[in-house]
Structure 1
Amino acid sequence: MPPQRPSGHRAVLGQYEESRATTTLCLAAGFGSRHDPPGHGGTAHLLEHLLMSASLDGGPSLSERIERLGGAANATTGLDHMFFQAQVLNEDVPEVLAMMSTALLRPRLDDAVLASERQAVLQELAAAAADPSDQVQDAFLESVFRGHPLGRPVGGTAEEIEATDVHSLREAHRDLFLGSRIVLTGAGGTPVANLRRLAEDTGLADALGRPHRRDDEPLAPLAAPTAPSEEGAESDGFSWLAVGGRAPAADDPRRHAYVVLAHLLGPSSASLLYRRLRGDAGLVYAFFAWSRSYAESGAWRIMAGVEDRNVSRARRIIEGLLAEVAADGPTADDLTAARHQAVMDLVLTTEKSWDHTTKLATETLLGTRPWTVEDGIQALRQVTADQIRDAAAELADRPVTAIRPERS
């Protein structure tokens, strides 16, 4: 069946595949850590925990009820989105949508569930603080978006979480979560027309498709790069290094070039950086590259795990290769390979119903613009060498570097 193209006003989007025995549902809200009230970082993330764990109609939580049906349930909070997902048998979709409507739109938030989930979040923050690969990402985004809400850590701080009370979470749910644009996406064996009808029947439709909030707070110019400390260069430790910079916004067509550039310099053995960093220099076992776009801007980065004595050398190789691509552009063969990889990554993502539902929400900007997988493939295949050169030049001009554990 051909993919269904969402129109600008639709609040229920989906991909129907008749052969699938399950359907993945996603309630996506345009509310994330960037919208946390000042001084109350981590509010969105903590609220996400409570909505999944609060008692539903005096009984088990939404998460437990879905899993008692044999389904899978999860929720995630990012910088500008919140996703609540469930994958269940097609026959259970009506019951699960009704439960999601009650649990997410009319939750029972009390001190008991807050106390329980506060401890879970504090444990999550402690685990992240002990993991340099988590910490380097927060440090990188803080540098890229310094002084801007996009630079806040999603989880907030332990002090902010300890100070949060039920009253402030109820306010955040009423004003920020319910006040954001919310859409329902689905992928699998339930037709989109059925999802729309069920949204009406369960009362979920009342919360869907509100006017789209524009997040376009001004960003300060990116500061001139500063060289990281060379302290610890001779130690026997292990660090995580992030190098990158700003990327285009979610409505900027240039963003596709940054996605392809991430594959050109990604962890594949076909990439330029793999040949240089791992094949020639033998410095890095694991590294990653990716680009994310938000309302005003985006973030492009390479993240690598490196022995301390090799951090500075790895950084110079990464920054040097960016400068080379900015000056000379990619070869035709390397550009073709990077485009193939970007397309394959998109296709593999959307072949997983769980990931397809979140992709539909983000690529349509919560249902405010049309998008299909074919649109995404076409955009990636049209990226040119000049666009790659321009993207690399912008990143090479003001490279942002973060290293964790932090050096003296």
Structure 2
Amino acid sequence: MPSSPTVVEPSALPTIALLDERLRTTSICLAVRYGSRDDPAEHGGLAHLLEHTLMSAPLDGRPSFCEQVERLGGHANAETGLDIMLFYAQVHADDADTVARLLHQAVLRPELTDAILDTERDAVLQELAAAQADPGDVVQDAFLARLFPGHPLGRPVGGDVEQIRRITLLDVLVGHRTRFLTSAMTLVVIGPQLPRLDGLGRTVPAAAVLPPAQALPPLAESTDAAVTWPDEYGWVCVGARSGAADDPGRRRFAILAQLLGDSPSSPLYRRLRNEAGLAYSFACWDRGYQEAGAWRVLVGVEPGNGETVVAIVRDILAELATAGPAPDDLAAARRQAGMRLILDSESPLDQLRMVAQRTRAGTADWSLAGELAALDAVDSEQVRAAAAEVLSELTVVVRPEAS
């Protein structure tokens, strides 16, 4: 049976180990409490570009970390968020020692060159171009910009194209040494046994100091009149700020998200799809960051349906803010939120990412059992309050906009 998460100190890097002798694979992740919110104002996209270069740079004249892992039959990837970066791999357990050392070298002791930077800069620009062609991506960037105006949380994770073009190798190296390596970080390992991690520490002294929280600017008034609906299929994002990641009461927003999610049991599904037939593709979720969170509903809408869709979302939030959820809806929402976590916990790679993200790179106490208990404890009054908070600052953004 899998053990409970155990924090060990086999090296200079704290390690969270979840060991299960039945597994034949080992999943390992280096989580870093650093993200796009920490990019310098003049270098938007630096963290994302750094992620690309670290995963693609050759190691001692051999292929990159990603290529070596894939040649072993494994899988490797990385991701940059607003306030966390993950570098991870899943391989046969026999290869865990080798891959742990490769990951350490690739991320903490890279050998970067102008040629590598130029190649990955091109890849990042292609990635951003693809995202810009997808209104479903564009609307979320626009929504966060409206939610956090003038704040790092409102900047696109991928960065600004013109700023990315101006980033030099020196900028990347300085960012890696002074910002990345000095951020809090931890290893998360899931497998039959712990890989050999002795000697795997940081290459420079690190204080593991958390980045300072930044004051949130006031929200600009959001009015439906500011929305210009397109004469084509588009995406509308409706939501508001929610609790920060360390807010002990933020689970109420997770339950509220289930109540307006894409499950046939949700009030929004019943109203929007079953009764009105206005949407096929929609979702609702909440994310907590250092200074605040973002709760949102994302809906694909046909021409002429946008205002009605927003009105239905607003009506359901108003009903929940007034009377709270029906008991059976609340029970279903709590079960669904818990089952999502349980399903993730039964896939080693999903569990790896979940633990890395929810412990915030080892800086927060978190366990699956504790999270499930906290979700089960959310009551009708807490959901009612969450709905009222969202409704009071409801922000509506649509993309594409009418030309």
What TM-score comes out, normalization by structure 2 length? 0.95
Equivalence for 2:367: 372
Task: Sort the Cα spacing of 1:274 and 1:209 in 2 relative to 1 into closer, same or farther, 3 A.
Answer: farther
Task: Sort the Cα spacing of 1:211 and 1:30 in 2 relative to 1 into closer, same or farther, 3 A.
Answer: same
Choose which of 265, 286, 292 in structure 2 pairs with 1:291: 286
Give yes or no for contact 1:7–1:367 (8 Å, CA) kept in 2: no
Question: Residue 13 of structure 1: CA displacement?
Answer: 0.5
**Is 1:218 the equivalent of 2:221?**
no
Q: Residue 286 of structure 2 aligns to a residue in which SS?
A: strand
The within-5 A match list for 1:383-402 is 383-402=378-397
**Is 1:158 the equivalent of 2:161?**
yes
**Is 1:339 the equivalent of 2:331?**
no
**Is 1:262 the equivalent of 2:257?**
yes
Equivalence for 1:43: 46
Q: Residue 292 of structure 1 aligns to a residue in which SS?
A: strand
- Equivalent position amino acid for 2:332 in 1: A
Equivalence for 2:5: 4
Equivalence for 2:267: 272
Equivalence for 2:84: 81
**Per-residue deviation, residues 131-164 of structure 1 (Å, max 9, x unmatched):** 0000011001111111110100011122111111
Q: Residue 219 of structure 2 aligns to a residue in which SS?
A: coil
- Equivalent position amino acid for 2:324 in 1: G
Equivalence for 2:29: 26
**Per-residue deviation, residues 276-315 of structure 1 (Å, max 9, x unmatched):** 1111110000100100001111000000101121011101
Q: Residue 284 of structure 1 aligns to a residue in which SS?
A: coil
**Per-residue deviation, residues 254-291 of structure 1 (Å, max 9, x unmatched):** 11110111011100000000001111110000100100
**Is 1:171 the equivalent of 2:171?**
no
> Larger deviation: 205-214 or 326-335?
205-214
Task: Sort the Cα spacing of 1:72 and 1:10 in 2 relative to 1 into closer, same or farther, 3 A.
Answer: closer
Give yes or no for contact 2:8–2:16 (8 Å, CA) kept in 1: no
Equivalence for 1:363: 358
Task: Sort the Cα spacing of 1:147 and 1:282 in 2 relative to 1 into closer, same or farther, 3 A.
Answer: same
Query: Hey, what's the Cα distance between the residues in 2 that align with 1:379 and 1:209?
Result: 34
Give yes or no for contact 1:11–1:184 (8 Å, CA) kept in 2: yes
Give yes or no for contact 1:23–1:88 (8 Å, CA) kept in 2: yes
Choose which of 198, 201, 208 in structure 2 pairs with 1:200: 198
Equivalence for 1:243: 238
Task: Sort the Cα spacing of 1:380 and 1:212 in 2 relative to 1 into closer, same or farther, 3 A.
Answer: farther
Task: Sort the Cα spacing of 1:52 and 1:230 in 2 relative to 1 into closer, same or farther, 3 A.
Answer: closer
- Equivalent position amino acid for 2:138 in 1: Q
Choose which of 182, 185, 190 in structure 2 pairs with 1:182: 185
Question: Residue 351 of structure 1: CA displacement?
Answer: 1.6
Give yes or no for contact 1:28–1:83 (8 Å, CA) kept in 2: yes
Task: Sort the Cα spacing of 1:286 and 1:85 in 2 relative to 1 into closer, same or farther, 3 A.
Answer: same
**Per-residue deviation, residues 65-84 of structure 1 (Å, max 9, x unmatched):** 11111110001001001110
**Is 1:406 the equivalent of 2:401?**
yes
Task: Sort the Cα spacing of 1:314 and 1:91 in 2 relative to 1 into closer, same or farther, 3 A.
Answer: same
- Equivalent position amino acid for 1:189 in 2: P
The within-5 A match list for 1:314-329 is 314-329=309-324
Question: Residue 41 of structure 1: CA displacement?
Answer: 0.6
Query: Hey, what's the Cα distance between the residues in 2 that align with 1:217 and 1:7?
Result: 32
- Equivalent position amino acid for 1:170 in 2: L
- Equivalent position amino acid for 1:152 in 2: R
The within-5 A match list for 1:81-100 is 81-100=84-103
Query: Hey, what's the Cα distance between the residues in 2 that align with 1:80 and 1:369?
Result: 14
**Is 1:304 the equivalent of 2:305?**
no
Q: Residue 300 of structure 2 aligns to a residue in which SS?
A: strand
Question: Residue 100 of structure 1: CA displacement?
Answer: 1.0
- Equivalent position amino acid for 2:102 in 1: M
Give yes or no for contact 1:212–1:368 (8 Å, CA) kept in 2: no
Query: Hey, what's the Cα distance between the residues in 1 that align with 2:288 and 2:212?
Result: 12
Question: Residue 374 of structure 1: CA displacement?
Answer: 0.6
The within-5 A match list for 1:102-121 is 102-121=105-124
Unmatched segments (≥5 aa) in structure 1: none
Query: Hey, what's the Cα distance between the residues in 1 that align with 2:240 and 2:205?
Result: 34
What TM-score comes out, normalization by structure 1 length? 0.94
**Per-residue deviation, residues 358-381 of structure 1 (Å, max 9, x unmatched):** 221222232233321111110101
- Equivalent position amino acid for 2:173 in 1: R
Question: Residue 230 of structure 1: CA displacement?
Answer: 5.7
Q: Residue 253 of structure 2 aligns to a residue in which SS?
A: helix
Choose which of 50, 64, 71 in structure 1 pairs with 2:67: 64
Say what the alpha-carbon RMSD is for the aligned residues.
Answer: 1.9
Query: Hey, what's the Cα distance between the residues in 1 that align with 2:119 and 2:374?
Result: 45
Task: Sort the Cα spacing of 1:231 and 1:256 in 2 relative to 1 into closer, same or farther, 3 A.
Answer: closer
**Per-residue deviation, residues 179-216 of structure 1 (Å, max 9, x unmatched):** 111110012322xxx34xx2223x23667984341431
State percent identity of aligned pairs. Answer: 46
> Larger deviation: 248-257 or 283-292?
248-257
Query: Hey, what's the Cα distance between the residues in 2 that align with 1:85 and 1:350?
Result: 16
Task: Sort the Cα spacing of 1:166 and 1:228 in 2 relative to 1 into closer, same or farther, 3 A.
Answer: farther
Q: Residue 16 of structure 2 aligns to a residue in which SS?
A: strand
Query: Hey, what's the Cα distance between the residues in 1 that align with 2:52 and 2:245?
Result: 27
